[in-house]
Structure 1
Amino acid sequence: MKTNFALLLWRRLALALLAVLSLSLAAPVMAQSSSLQKIKQTGELRIGVAPGDPWYFRDPNSGQWTGLGVLIGEQLAKSLNVKLVPVETTWGNSVAALQSGQIDIMLVLDATEERKRAIDFPSKPLLWYAQGVLAKDGLVVKNWEDLNKADIRIGVALGTATDRDLTKRLPNAKIERFTNTDETVAAFNAGRVDAIGFYHPALAIAYSKIHKGAVYIPKPAVALPTSAGIRKESDSAFKDLLDVQFDKLYNSGTTESLYTQYLKSKGLDPSKQPGVTREALEK
């Protein structure tokens, strides 16, 4: 009798412990809202912002952030009927900021294979950019072979994708490597190189600062899509919404229009600068 009572007691204790354990394991899952749920609950869309004109630029006087990434973020926030909140980060820390929930989205982030292992990306492209050059006055660049000459000096930022691409693409040219973008632009401004290579939106901003030379996208165009990083989660609602919004902004011409608007704010004539659609870059 005592044995049966003890056995029954142990069974009841085991069931109670199992129930407590199940609740404790389920609690974090139940408490964790999806990205879209959290955005709607808080009424805020938090976008990561990091120095990198024309995507993100902080006015040194007002401290306010602007740039194409911010303008697109405003469109997304409007479609969700929430407030846009810029959260400063760095390009290198953006993945960690998404994983930890510090930001909801990092716009204009390339979907590399390494990043795909840590975060998620919408399937629709946000916009396109191409490998280009800012060439000195008098140096007309229609094709890559126009630069593939021993007497042509081309500046690049050391270790970048542009450095790797142009080193292979232009074996006869003299590739001059500099520590960062600013040093590369300074070398061009001083006449130490004949052209500098970057993706074309960054070259447009460089031109807006020094007003020398012209931006070209040599043929054949090396155009690449960029996207936006978001947190990995089982609920695909936010990702699906972004696919719809990106497609709508792109095909309606809004993305291109926002880029044009930002170029004008930099004192540039958009008609003289390549756009950010695949169709424009591959004409």
Structure 2
Amino acid sequence: MISFNFSKLFAAATVALSLLAAPVAAVADDNPSAVLDQIRASGVLKAPVMVGEEPGYIKDPATGQWSGFYVEFLTEIATELGVKLQPVETTWGNLAADFQSNKIDIAIGVNPNPKRGLVVDYLWEPLFTDAWAVLTPVGKPVKTWAELNDPSKTVVVQKGSTMQIVAEALLPKAKITPVEDRGLALMELQSGRTDAVLLSIFDALQVSEKKIGEVSLPEPILRNPATLAVARKPGNAGYINFLTNWIEQQRSLGQAQGKLARAWEARGIDLSILPKGFSF
């Protein structure tokens, strides 16, 4: 009678299967278009959208539809890929987790962030560049960052954002108060509980049009690159190459600048606070 050692047979089969699967996995990892293929197969481009982040993201309360210049950019990218844009409501502080859980395929208008950089790949060519500003109570502008770097000063930032990193680096003596979103930050300013809210200059100007605070562009002026980000995963090289070329075209043909100028003009945003020669 022939006897079988099933444990040895099972082990041998497992090894054989792993040897067969390894080249397949390697091929998948080496395919630079793997991520592009996944997005196209899904039929949607999942992108984050934020409440209270006008004019980049604008939500119609009646219909729930999203618009704004960031949404316009994202829709164009989705169209180029032959898919539809799928908005995913979130916050800046949740982007890294959203990428890791595959909730989003792309983020736009983000700043290079060391912590997020552990799981996210940033495109180094920015879509546009603005600067960091502060929104202060009316009649209390600041000329330099040093004026806010004082234990008696409270500065509000959005939690987990690049704004928080900037504030902690520049204003170590001040009290930094992180909040979840821009709406909560503005409530802190309107209630008199803070001396400044740190925002990008274009966002600050947008808010000031609603008569909420006064905009200051403190010295030294810190430029703020707004770029694109994707999840760091095997097979995203082709996706990054596609997006890099898209950004280059947007900037070199003036398309990005034109969209932004129209968005700010439509909102009545006065850009005269920007220094002479400032180019976004």
Place the TM-score, normalised by the shorter chain, in its bin: 0.7 to 0.9
Q: Give 1:167 deviation, angstroms.
A: 2.8
Q: Give 1:14 deviation, angstroms.
A: 7.1
Q: TM-score, length-normalised on structure 1?
A: 0.71
Q: Give 1:249 deviation, angstroms.
A: 1.4
Instruction: Establish whether residue 164 from structure 1 lines up as the match of residue 161 from structure 2.
Output: no
Paired AA for residue 95 in structure 2:
S
3-state SS of the aligned residue for 1:93? helix
Q: Is this contact kept in 2: 1:119–1:229, CA < 8 A?
A: yes
Instruction: Establish whether residue 209 from structure 1 lines up as the match of residue 206 from structure 2.
Output: no
Q: Which residue in the other structure is 1:19 paired with? A: 16
Please give the alpha-carbon distance, in whole angstroms, between the structure 2 residues aligned to 1:262 and 1:221. 23
Q: 1:116 to 1:191 in 2, by over 3 A?
A: closer
Q: Which residue in the other structure is 2:76 paired with? A: 75
Paired AA for residue 43 in structure 1:
G
Please give the alpha-carbon distance, in whole angstroms, between the structure 1 residues aligned to 2:194 and 2:98. 38
Q: Give 1:25 deviation, angstroms.
A: 5.6
Q: Deviations over 1:222-256 (max 9, x none)?
A: 11213222122232000111111122212322222
Paired AA for residue 120 in structure 1:
D
Q: 1:252 to 1:136 in 2, by over 3 A?
A: farther
Q: Which range is displaced more, 23-32 or 39-48?
A: 23-32
Matches within 5 A, 1:2-17: 16-17=13-14
Q: Can you give the 5+ residue segments of structure 2 that lack an aligned partner in the other structure?
A: none
Please give the alpha-carbon distance, in whole angstroms, between the structure 2 residues aligned to 1:79 and 1:225. 24
Matches within 5 A, 1:133-172: 133-134=134-135, 143-144=143-144, 148=147, 156-157=155-156, 160-161=164-165, 163-164=167-168, 167=171
Matches within 5 A, 1:185-196: 185-186=186-187, 196=197
Q: Give 1:53 deviation, angstroms.
A: 0.8
Instruction: Establish whether residue 249 from structure 1 lines up as the match of residue 250 from structure 2.
Output: yes
3-state SS of the aligned residue for 1:210? coil
Q: Deviations over 1:48-101 (max 9, x none)?
A: 223351333322222112233212102212332332221223333322222232
Q: Is this contact kept in 2: 1:260–1:270, CA < 8 A?
A: no
Instruction: Establish whether residue 240 from structure 1 lines up as the match of residue 241 from structure 2.
Output: yes
Please give the alpha-carbon distance, in whole angstroms, between the structure 2 residues aligned to 1:149 and 1:49. 31
Q: Is this contact kept in 1: 2:106–2:229, CA < 8 A?
A: yes
Q: Is this contact kept in 1: 2:57–2:71, CA < 8 A?
A: yes
Q: Is this contact kept in 2: 1:154–1:176, CA < 8 A?
A: yes
Paired AA for residue 103 in structure 1:
I
3-state SS of the aligned residue for 2:85? strand
Give percent identity, aligned residues only.
Answer: 23
Aligned length: 264
Please give the alpha-carbon distance, in whole angstroms, between the structure 2 residues aligned to 1:136 and 1:11. 76
Please give the alpha-carbon distance, in whole angstroms, between the structure 1 residues aligned to 2:239 and 2:148. 49
Q: Deviations over 1:120-142 (max 9, x none)?
A: 2222223223121346666776x
Paired AA for residue 127 in structure 1:
F
Q: Which residue in the other structure is 1:223 paired with? A: 223
Matches within 5 A, 1:78-97: 78-97=79-98
Q: 1:149 to 1:135 in 2, by over 3 A?
A: closer
Q: Which residue in the other structure is 1:99 paired with? A: 100
What RMSD over aligned residues (CA atoms) do the two structures have, in Å? Answer: 4.2
Q: 1:106 to 1:220 in 2, by over 3 A?
A: same
Q: Which residue in the other structure is 2:117 paired with? A: 116
Please give the alpha-carbon distance, in whole angstroms, between the structure 2 residues aligned to 1:100 and 1:149. 38
